[in-house]
Amino acid sequence: MTGALPRYAPDAVLIVLSILQVLISVVLTVLILLHSGKDAGLSGAFGVGTGAGRFGGGALVERNLTRWTIGFAILFPVNVIVLLKLS
């Protein structure tokens, strides 16, 4: 045995990355909708922007929501580029 890494079928990798792309898209859509805008968006419905509730301060929740949104927004095109390179 030479210790080489096992090779995976390209079709299996494409299927996994395609499913991951759909999940990233759904999560990114939900995260964007949770942001408070002029009319408080969906985050007002869940009490995110009010500072009330068990989450504590609204600023901390908004900051973490922004960080998650940026992370998934970066992950989205990276996954698209990988999918394009493999196909």
pTM: 0.68
Residue 60 lies in a domain: yes
Phi, psi of 22 (to 5 degrees): -65, -45
Residue 13 lies in a domain: no
> How much is the pLDDT for 10?
73
Block mean pLDDT (10 aa), the chain, length 87: 68 92 96 77 54 62 91 96 91
Residue 70 lies in a domain: yes
Q: Which domain covers residue 27, as residue numbers?
A: 21-36+43-86
> How much is the pLDDT for 61?
84
> How much is the pLDDT for 25?
97
> How much is the pLDDT for 38?
62
For residue 7, what is the DSSP state?
A: P
Residue 51 lies in a domain: yes
As for how many domains the chain has, the answer is 1
Give residue 56's region: left, alpha or beta (phi > 0; psi -120 to 50). left
> How much is the pLDDT for 35?
84
Residue 5 lies in a domain: no
**CA–CA separation, 31 and 74 (whole Å):** 13
Residue 12 lies in a domain: no
